Amino acid sequence: MNNTAPDRYTGRFAPSPSGPLHFGSLIAALGSYLQARSLAGQWQVRIEDLDPPREVAGAADDILRTLEAFGLHWDGALVYQSQRHERYQQILDDWASRGLTYYCHCTRKQIAAAGGLYTGHCRKLGLAAKGAAVRLKMFSPVYGFHDQLQGEVRVDERLAEEDFIVRRRDGFYAYNLAVVIDDMDAGITQVVRGADLLEPTARQIALYRLLSAPVPDWLHLPLAVFQGNKLSKQNHAPPLNIKAPGEALWQALTFLGQQPPADLFGAGADELLAWAISNWQLNKVPSRPDIELNCADSSHFQRPALS
């Protein structure tokens, strides 16, 4: 299913429709977009509607309208995870036939009582499928990886060795499973996303290896945090203002260390992006997991000093 030439850069942005895009989302979208465009590569968009209980009605369409208003136009067809369940199940069926997965009835409360990490309790019990999660037997754990921005990343050995869930008790497919299959099928050559996803990367690399698929490069951008918490939909970060994309884009570029000219503050999205693509320098992006902001609303972030 991979129709992308292996020598062509292919990146992506994969938001979940749990609410509107905010400044933290813009950083991930813009960073991935500029990395792709500066390398004359493709930039795809995938809606990760994998968890219906967390979805907000109309959020997917709102996200796409916001990307378009900010000039972040994607290549190729949109991908919705909700339309790929058959593909995920195909992989799970193959693993089950090879004895690589098993059913688990342990609850979160039981795992927490055992120390917070799953101990493999159900691995050899041959339990029934009804009401069970599906776990993958972790035969070849990954203990670390290289990130193009964050450097060498090490993972807790116990976490790396844990048999993790690939399909939840409620029947929904797990994020780690879906994201790896999607990126593999799309021919993604580099995953650019927020540093909050550093930890699951090791598990995802283990899945790529199990699937005998090329492992992409990794680039985790710093998170925008306010009062110690990352900007997120769950923390009620204000939505982006699609009527003033030039201001938020300028601020996002500044956050990413790109030093856009002061006279471009508030310029049109296309003008700002043209400058950003031509001047994108990854070595200027702060190599740290997060950056504290003085306000949760991008409309109050730093404004340029005009001479």
Q: Which of 100-104, 108-112, 159-163, 255-259 has the lowest mean pLDDT?
A: 108-112
Show me where the domains of the chain are located: 10-83+222-300, 85-144+154-177
The per-residue b/e assignment along 208-244, b for 16 or more CB within 10 angstroms, e otherwise, is: bebeebebbebbbbbbbbbeeebbbbeeebebbebee
Residue 106 counted as an annotated binding residue: yes
233 pLDDT higher than 80? no
Q: Is the pLDDT of residue 198 over 90?
A: yes
For domain 10-83+222-300, the CATH class is alpha beta
Predicted local distance difference test score (pLDDT) of residue 266: 84
Q: What is the pLDDT of residues 133-187, one digit of tens each?
A: 999 999 999 999 999 999 999 999 999 999 999 999 999 999 999 999 999 999 9
Tell whether residue 54 is among the known ligand binding residues: no
The answer to the question of whether 193 is labelled as a binding residue is yes
Per-residue pLDDT for 5 more than 50? no
Q: Do 10-83+222-300 and 85-144+154-177 fold alike per CATH?
A: yes
Give residue-wise pLDDT tens across range 73-103: 999 999 999 999 999 999 999 999 999 999 9
Cα 175–29–257 angle (5° rounding)? 125
Task: Measure the CA–CA gap between 98 and 75, rounded to whole angstroms.
Answer: 37
Mean pLDDT of 223-227: 86
16 is known to lie in a ligand binding site = yes
Tell me how far apart the alpha carbons of residues 201 and 218 are, in angstroms, rounded to a whole number.
8
Q: What is the CATH number of domain 85-144+154-177?
A: 3.40.50.620
| 139 marked as binding residue | no
Question: Mean pLDDT, to the nearest integer, of 187-200?
Answer: 96
To the question of whether residue 152 is assigned a binding role by annotation, the answer is no
Pair type for strands 223-226 and 290-293: parallel
Query: Residue 231 — pLDDT band, cuts 50, 70, 90?
Result: confident
Instruction: Tell whether pTM > 0.85.
Output: yes
Q: Is 48 annotated as a binding residue?
A: yes
